[in-house]
Structure 1
Amino acid sequence: MFGGDIFILTMAFLSNAILVTFILAVTAIFLPQLSGSVLGLIFRGVGWLIRQRTRSRREYVIARARSEEEEHRKPRQKASSNSLSRSQAEDEDWEKVDSSGPGGVNTTTSSDSSASGDDEWDGIIGFFHPFCNAGGGGERVLWEAVRATQKRWPKAICAIYTGDHEVNKATMLERVETRFNIQLHAPTVILLYLTTRKYVVASSYPYMTLLGQSLGSLIVGYDAFTLLVPDVFVDTMGYAFTLAMCKWLFPDVPTGAYVHYPTISTDMIASLDDDTGVQGINSGTGKGLKGKVKRRYWQLFAQLYGWVGRHIDVVMCNSSWTAAHIRTLWGNEKATTETENGTASSPAVVFPPTAVTELESTITVDAESEKSRQPVLLYIAQFRPEKNHPLVLRSFARFLQERQNNPTYANQPQPRLVLIGSVRHASPDETHIYNLRLLAHELRIRDQTTFLCDAAWPTVLSHLGTASVGVNGMWNEHFGICVVEYQAAGLICVTHDSGGPREDIVIDLGDGATGFRAETEEQFAASFEAALALPEAEKIAMRQRARRSALRFTEEEFAKKWLGQITKLVQAAR
């Protein structure tokens, strides 16, 4: 009897153990999904509340844009009425041009889209670009993207989320035209002013900067959505976390990313072991306990960054180098560029727009124009640490020293270095350029070096037409718009042997070299010498090869590829 009780108790215990094990297994399997579902409902609920609270502002934005459009059309309608009495044919031509949208150029590539009414889409595209007044290459991409979008969908509203409170819309558009020679249709451009931009400023996070800025972008993104919830949301500055948050809050809002450079990359992690000191500002910092902690932190952040990136609907990259890193971090590193479809696993390479056409029509490259070229080295780049101006200054000083010791150049004009770039006021940029001026003084090249801050486009154009060599010293420059401008203007390029310039721009297309690449001070100095010492015939030939190479990066090519990807988002939003 006693033995029977033990058997029964043992079986009961085993049954309970099996039941508990089964419950734990089921919980382990389904709890994450249940938690995810609950969190999803919470985020959607928050998104619904945001939409309700911003509905009146959305209606106001649309009404104001339509009102400004009517005001904008009145003078043109009056001019049209006057011209009608002169020539009916001319009026019909004007109507055809006007119907193509702002700027008078119809960029629709298919008659099918017009027939289906796709060009009549009148939704709101939100461009997340908190520093849209910075005046750099990223801002050129933003405004060229806005112009292409306006021409494709004339009735759509382009909402720019910015933290530049000191600039109103009229001033902003005027600066865009002055700096980039890009004319926009004002009525359908609106600026939405963020109050939380400070949370994405690197100086706010002395430690764990990458994570701090990424989490800070969630605050700024939430700020943006409480201003206005767009129909399509596009990040053009590199804040992938805001796009993921958009999908959590508003699953029906298509998202797109134009990636200038990955927030973190395998090259960055590898630079921790670099002993040469040429691989960026973190070169060689992976030693010791602090270095190990930093490496692990970067590796974990890379995993988080990849998880966030996989939430984005359409992904565009500005270069082959950037696309390769995004494939590795966000998707499938085995994917090739032949399968570019605009996804995280296979991002589309959309080269940034460059004023190639204007430069070609303005600047002549031939034997006659060679006489007006001066021994000037030109570096166009924002005055920020990552642009590595000190490397260029030290290389130039070394080059001058070696040249002074060579009697061959005793009676020749002294070469000069001109540095042109934008400076974000009330920011570390101002301190940075002050330190650069001090360095030029210490290197004894102050009289041969010129700094031009926030130069207007005509000034930049003038220097591109008279300089001889174009310089870029940034390690792993993600693309290098200025390098393409050098080529289009006929300058001989001397760029850092990495990133976009190495992969896409300063390459041999089969008919000879289009410039020089270097890494160290010695190599840059030698390249400066080699570029200026070329025989005149070879100089002209290299300038012309470079100009032909630049045709791959026109504004028209950018607009075509940009619209090809954005159309997917618009169709999803319809």
Structure 2
Amino acid sequence: MMLLLLKSAITVLALLATCVLLPQLPLGVLRLVLRGVGWLIVRRTRSRREHIVSRVRAEEEDSAAKRTAKPSPGEDEDWEKVDTRSSSSSSGSRERGGDGWDGIIGFFHPFCNAGGGGERVLWEAVKATQKRWPRAICVIYTGDHEATKATMLERVHNRFNIQLHAPTVVLLYLTTRKYVASTMYPYMTLLGQSLGSLVVAHDAFNLVVPDIFVDTMGYAFTLAYCRLLFPWVPTGAYVHYPTISTDMLQSLDDKSGLQGVNAGAGTGLRGHAKRKYWLAFARLYGWVGGHVDVVMCNSSWTAAHIRTIWGPSRNNTPHKDPAVVFPPTAVTELESSIRVDAESETSRQPVILYIAQFRPEKNHPLLLRSFARFLHNHAQHSSTTSSMPTPRLILIGSVRHASPDETHIYNLRLLAHELHIRDHTTFICDASWPTILSHLSTASIGVNAMWNEHFGICVVEYQAAGLISVVHDSGGPREDIVIDMPDSDSDSDSDAGAKGGSGNANGGGSGATGFRASTEDQFAAAFETALALPVEEKMAMRARARRSALRFSEEEFHKGWLEQVGKLVSISSSSSSSSSSSSSSSSS
């Protein structure tokens, strides 16, 4: 009897073990296979890695020699100090994780030449990394084959006024970027692009395997893939916008049509299928988030969504909570270049400025229709003898060539013609930084029309330049930027963090830094109210907005970025030390 009971117990335990372990077996086998693939990739790319490192060090020596012989006025003087300090670093300094860390940081950014806010973040991140770890090599995986390193860095300087140390910047060109283009996936676009990013990431790793891998564009699946291939490579994500969010799911039930391009799309059989697909993708996206060592988010809004979706999968991660690292904005330069005082007020024109990439999600049609409504109302209420010039709308943005962006801007021009505002609307594509500065110094209003804009770098630029902001009442602009501020520096600093600076188009309160709106009527009313403010109130609002913008300077971004990437460097250094110790033990 005892023997029979023992056999029965063993059978039950075996069945339980099978039920528990069998579902894990395919994933375990997959992990083992991918780790083997990763080992082969490392072995195959070892010679290329050595070539990249030797070429970078040779370029550093040439650059140092040229600066010693004849300093270039265009070169940042700090680089000379950096090189002097780093030249004394030993070959083993990478293991110490200090200023002399000399590993390879891979930045996954296939569209690094796009010229938008995401690209500003990328290049400021590279600049901060170069300053902190001058021996580190910054590899950017890009699909912009038409741009050489020289032309790329020149564009970065002209567009963003960012000067980089060229020798330690390496561009590696991807041949598979088309697989992350939305046009490749007319259906199930989210899943298609995410799976396509795995193809592009595999392409990147076959160019060189970095010591730290950072996604700066939003392809989170590449980070999980990196972890499965190379468990020793720490991963970091700078999240501009969650691939899917609870707001997107809620928008399926929106009847107003104001919540993005999928508003109200959850009805019927097709809508039901879409909802199920999005929910399944959200679970998969959450699992992916558990494979990221360090997560940075560009706004409180983004961090809240990432915390909700990724949080359950990150319970066992040392750096569990996402850090909010606001994107860098040229606040210091804008303050020094553009005056905000009684004299400058006289040079402001009734111009509404929108700086945004020409893409559908930026919702330019809403702005064009709002401006047309505003002009109609303005013409009715304005005196026929008024000396004020007719308000104008200027739209500035980058355009990805050979892409749907070109068709999009063509359609926007047609819409401006249909709305009879063509003579009062100007489109400027791929403007240089000096051109943008010029318009920021003379415009009166800065606008952002995107629903759930993840942050809104252009809005901070408006504030720093002294423009009165009119933004969509959602996302980062509502949560972090267009908020109430004290009227003077002597007021309580606690007011600076208060939410809810003008919540609609009916006028700002005493501490408002701008206006928020959602509909055409609200935007049109906000334009009218902002332009009609008395001079004293305009100047007070511009001053408050400029003080608010100080929270988003390049210096603040550098601090946040380096604090988080420092964690990745520490992980990488620990991993290198462990590998060295294991090798020494084996050889002994």
TM-score scaled by length of structure 1: 0.90
- Alignment-derived partner of residue 258 in structure 1: 238
Question: Cα distance 1:344–1:217, how it changes in 2: closer, same or farther (>3 A)?
Answer: farther
Could you tell me how far apart the structure 1 residues matched to 2:477 and 2:245 are? Answer: 17
- Alignment-derived partner of residue 111 in structure 2: 131
Is the CA contact (8 Å cut-off) linking 1:342 and 1:348 kept in structure 2? no
Query: Is residue 386 from structure 1 mapped to residue 385 from structure 2 by the alignment?
Result: no
Q: Aligned-pair distance for 1:75? A: 1.7
Q: How does 1:182-331 map to 2 (within 5 A)?
A: 182-331=162-311
Q: Aligned-pair distance for 1:38? A: 2.9
CA offsets per residue over residues 432-472 of structure 1, 9 Å max, x none? 00000000000000000000000000000000000000000
- Alignment-derived partner of residue 396 in structure 2: 420
In structure 2, stretches of 5+ residues that fail to align are: 87-92, 488-510, 574-588
Could you tell me how far apart the structure 2 residues matched to 1:383 and 1:344 are? Answer: 36
Q: Aligned-pair distance for 1:332? A: 5.2
| Structure ID, larger Rg | 1
Q: Aligned-pair distance for 1:14? A: 9.3
Question: Cα distance 1:179–1:509, how it changes in 2: closer, same or farther (>3 A)?
Answer: same
Question: Cα distance 1:359–1:97, how it changes in 2: closer, same or farther (>3 A)?
Answer: closer
Query: Is residue 437 from structure 1 mapped to residue 413 from structure 2 by the alignment?
Result: yes
Is the CA contact (8 Å cut-off) linking 2:64 and 2:83 kept in structure 1? no
Alignment counterpart, residue 14 of structure 2, candidates 19, 23, 35: 23
Is the CA contact (8 Å cut-off) linking 2:356 and 2:397 kept in structure 1? yes
Q: How does 1:99-118 map to 2 (within 5 A)?
A: 118=98
Could you tell me how far apart the structure 2 residues matched to 1:204 and 1:45 are? Answer: 30
Q: How does 1:39-50 map to 2 (within 5 A)?
A: 39-50=30-41
- Alignment-derived partner of residue 363 in structure 1: 338
Could you tell me how far apart the structure 1 residues matched to 2:185 and 2:233 are? Answer: 31
Alignment counterpart, residue 463 of structure 1, candidates 414, 439, 445: 439
Match of 1:408, SS? coil
Q: Greater CA deviation, 494-503 or 22-31?
A: 22-31
Is the CA contact (8 Å cut-off) linking 1:478 and 1:499 kept in structure 2? yes
Is the CA contact (8 Å cut-off) linking 1:397 and 1:445 kept in structure 2? yes
Question: Cα distance 1:176–1:26, how it changes in 2: closer, same or farther (>3 A)?
Answer: same
CA offsets per residue over residues 76-131 of structure 1, 9 Å max, x none? 22248xxxxxxxxxxxxxxx97577569999xxxxxx99x7710111100000000
- Alignment-derived partner of residue 373 in structure 2: 398
Amino acid at match of 2:340: V
Q: How does 1:158-197 map to 2 (within 5 A)?
A: 158-197=138-177
CA offsets per residue over residues 38-78 of structure 1, 9 Å max, x none? 33221111111000000010001001111111111112222
Alignment counterpart, residue 61 of structure 1, candidates 52, 61, 67: 52
Could you tell me how far apart the structure 2 residues matched to 1:530 and 1:463 are? Answer: 21
Question: Cα distance 1:342–1:16, how it changes in 2: closer, same or farther (>3 A)?
Answer: closer
Amino acid at match of 1:527: A
Question: Cα distance 1:21–1:520, how it changes in 2: closer, same or farther (>3 A)?
Answer: same
Q: Aligned-pair distance for 1:407? A: 3.8
Amino acid at match of 1:48: W
CA offsets per residue over residues 508-544 of structure 1, 9 Å max, x none? 0243100000000000000000000000000000000
Could you tell me how far apart the structure 1 residues matched to 2:485 and 2:287 are? Answer: 37
Is the CA contact (8 Å cut-off) linking 2:446 and 2:469 kept in structure 1? yes
Q: Aligned-pair distance for 1:572? A: 1.0
Alignment counterpart, residue 372 of structure 1, candidates 347, 372, 375: 347
Query: Is residue 532 from structure 1 mapped to residue 531 from structure 2 by the alignment?
Result: yes
Q: Greater CA deviation, 174-183 or 19-28?
A: 19-28
Question: Cα distance 1:374–1:345, how it changes in 2: closer, same or farther (>3 A)?
Answer: same
Q: Greater CA deviation, 281-290 or 33-42?
A: 33-42
Is the CA contact (8 Å cut-off) linking 1:101 and 1:152 kept in structure 2? no
Q: Aligned-pair distance for 1:566? A: 0.3
Is the CA contact (8 Å cut-off) linking 2:97 and 2:569 kept in structure 1? no
Match of 1:391, SS? helix
Question: Cα distance 1:23–1:225, how it changes in 2: closer, same or farther (>3 A)?
Answer: same
Amino acid at match of 2:181: V
Number of residue pairs matched?
A: 539
Could you tell me how far apart the structure 1 residues matched to 2:318 and 2:85 are? Answer: 29
Is the CA contact (8 Å cut-off) linking 1:102 and 1:185 kept in structure 2? no
Is the CA contact (8 Å cut-off) linking 1:331 and 1:344 kept in structure 2? no
Is the CA contact (8 Å cut-off) linking 1:65 and 1:188 kept in structure 2? yes
Q: Which runs of 4+ in 1 moved over 4 A?
A: 10-21, 96-106, 332-335, 341-345
Alignment counterpart, residue 141 of structure 1, candidates 118, 121, 127: 121
RMSD, aligned α-carbons? 2.6
- Alignment-derived partner of residue 353 in structure 1: 328
Is the CA contact (8 Å cut-off) linking 2:41 and 2:206 kept in structure 1? yes
Could you tell me how far apart the structure 2 residues matched to 1:142 and 1:101 are? Answer: 23
Amino acid at match of 2:461: E
Match of 1:331, SS? helix
Question: Cα distance 1:145–1:321, how it changes in 2: closer, same or farther (>3 A)?
Answer: same
Could you tell me how far apart the structure 2 residues matched to 1:539 and 1:424 are? Answer: 36
Q: Aligned-pair distance for 1:28? A: 1.2
Is the CA contact (8 Å cut-off) linking 1:332 and 1:345 kept in structure 2? no
Amino acid at match of 2:534: P
- Alignment-derived partner of residue 514 in structure 1: 513
In structure 1, stretches of 5+ residues that fail to align are: 1-9, 81-95, 107-112, 336-340
Report sequence identity in percent. 72
Amino acid at match of 1:375: P
Query: Is residue 475 from structure 1 mapped to residue 451 from structure 2 by the alignment?
Result: yes
Match of 2:115, SS? coil
Could you tell me how far apart the structure 2 residues matched to 1:61 and 1:461 are? Answer: 38
Could you tell me how far apart the structure 2 residues matched to 1:409 and 1:101 are? Answer: 63
Amino acid at match of 2:550: L
- Alignment-derived partner of residue 569 in structure 1: 568
Alignment counterpart, residue 496 of structure 1, candidates 462, 465, 472: 472
Could you tell me how far apart the structure 2 residues matched to 1:68 and 1:269 are? Answer: 50
Could you tell me how far apart the structure 2 residues matched to 1:104 and 1:456 are? Answer: 33
Could you tell me how far apart the structure 1 residues matched to 2:356 and 2:402 are? Answer: 19
Q: Greater CA deviation, 281-290 or 24-33?
A: 24-33
